[in-house]
Amino acid sequence: MAEKRTDVRVENRTLSLSNLDKVLWPQDGYTKGDLIGYYSAVASAMLPYLENRPLTLERFPNGIGASSFFEKNAPQGMPAWVRRETLASPGGRRAKITYVLCNDAPTLIYLANLAAVVLHIWTSHVGSLDEPDFVLFDLDPDEACTLKTLATVALTLREALVSVGLAPLVKTSGGMGLHVVVPLERGHTYDQAKVFAELAARHVAGACGELVTLERRIAKRREGAVYIDYVQVGHGKTLVAPFSARARDGAPASWPLDWSEVEAFARSRTTVPADAFGKYTIRTVPKALKREGDRWSGRSWKRARLAASIERVRKRWR
C-alpha cells in the first residue's frame, strides 16, 4: 500500500509527512499525526533543551506495542539542512557516530515523522562535550514503591542540595520516576559532577534509610525502595529530554515540575507514581504549558559552581 503523504510548511522548510493516521498508541488511539501535533505545540519550550546536544532517537515505526529501536547515527535519507555532528563513539571505541542535532522546529517535526517518540539528550553541548551543563539524579522507584515514598526521597534530596547552596530542579521522567538536576556553570568536568552526585546520593541514602537503594543490580534492590542513579552522569550518557513523549499507554510526557507539586505528591492519597504523573500527556501538556509556562526556564535555571558546595558538603554531610 502506498504511503499517504502530506506536505506542510514549518518555518522556512517544506516537509513531506507520511501516514499521519498511523496509530502509535494502540490503547489510546493516538496517531503519528498526534505526535507531530504535540511536538509542534511544545517546540518553542522544548528546543532550548535540545539545541546543540547530540540526540539518541527511540523510534516506534509500528507503534509502541511493536518492535522499536534506539538510533544514534543520523538516519539514512535525512535532509541536508538537518544539522549533524560526528563524534568518537562513547566508551573509547574506534567507530564514530554521526548524531542528529535538533536545533529548530522543522528538525523536530521531521524526527516526529520518523516515529521518534522519545528523544534522549546528552547532558553537554557540542563545543563543550566534556563539560556537563547539569548534575543529574535519576530517581527510579521499584514497582512496589509508593508515590509518597518517591516524593519523600525527592524532597530529602532537594533539602540536602539547598543546604549546600544549590537550586535543584525536578521533572517527571514520563514514566514512574523523577529527574532532579542541578544546573552548572561552564568549566566543570564530568569527574567533578560524578563525585558530587555520589556524595549527595550517599548522604540521602543515609538520611532515608530503607526508602533508598544505591544497588545497581535490579534483582538486589529492596522492594518498594527508590534507586538513586547517580552514575548516569558522564560523557555520552543521556536522559529523556524535558517535554519528550514516552512510549507508554496514555502517551505521557516528561514534564518540568514545581517543587510544591512534589510536596503535594507526598500528601496525596494516590499510591502509584505513574498514576499521578499520568495527567501529563501529549494531550494535556500543551495546554498546561500555555497556562503555567516552563518551570525550568528563565530565573529558575540557576547555574552553580560545585567547588563552594563541595566545601560545604565536607562540613555538613558527615
**pLDDT value at residue 2:** 62
Element (H, E) at 97: strand 96-100
Q: Which of 122, 148, 165 is the last residue of a domain?
A: 122
Across 41-64, average pLDDT = 97
The residue with greater pLDDT, 90 or 175, is: 175
Residue 280 counted as domain residue: yes
CA–CA dist 230, 310 (Å, integer): 16
Quick: pLDDT tens for 236-258.
999 999 999 999 999 999 999 99
300 compared with 30, residue with greater pLDDT: 30
Domain that holds residue 258: 134-316
User: Span 230-237, mean pLDDT?
Assistant: 89
| Domain boundary, last residue among 74, 98, 122 | 122
pLDDT over 80 (residue 187) = yes
Residue-level pLDDT at 4: 84
Q: Do 65 and 108 have their domain in common? A: yes
Task: Identify the CATH number of the domain in which residue 63 sits.
Answer: 3.90.920.10
Distance of CA 227 to the CA centre of its chain: 17
Residues 148 and 90 in one domain: no
Residue 127 forms part of a structural domain = no
On whether both 41 and 172 belong to a single domain, the answer is no
Q: Do 80 and 223 belong to one domain? A: no
- Could you tell me if 304 and 227 lie in one domain? yes
Based on the domain organization, do 184 and 212 belong to the same domain? yes
pLDDT at 318: 66
Q: How many CB atoms neighbour CB 158 within 10 A?
A: 20
Rounded mean pLDDT, 272-298 = 95
Per-residue DSSP letter, 89? P
Residue 1 confidence class, pLDDT cut points 50, 70, 90: low
H or E, element range at 84: strand 84-88
pLDDT tens for 62-117 read 999 999 999 999 998 999 999 999 998 866 666 899 999 999 999 999 999 999 99
Do 227 and 109 share a structural domain? no
Q: Reduced to 3 states, what is the DSSP secondary structure of residue 216?
A: coil
129 in any annotated domain: no
Neighbouring C-beta atoms of residue 203, cutoff 10 Å: 20
Domain count, the chain: 2
pLDDT value, residue 93: 62
| Cα 153 from Cα 180, distance rounded (Å) | 11
Considering the domain architecture, whether residues 114 and 204 belong to the same structural domain is answered as: no
pLDDT digits (tens, 9 = 90+) for 147-168: 999 999 999 999 999 999 999 9
pLDDT of residue 63: 97
Are 65 and 139 in contact, with CB atoms under 8 Å apart? no
Residues 154 and 203 in one domain: yes
The per-residue pLDDT for 310 is 83
Residue 95: inside a domain, yes or no? yes
Q: Are residues 201 and 259 in the same domain?
A: yes
- Grid cell in block for residue 203: 548522604
What Rg, from alpha-carbon coordinates, does the chain have? 20
Residue that terminates a domain, selected from 122, 157, 179: 122
173 and 244 Cβ atoms separated by less than 8 Å: no
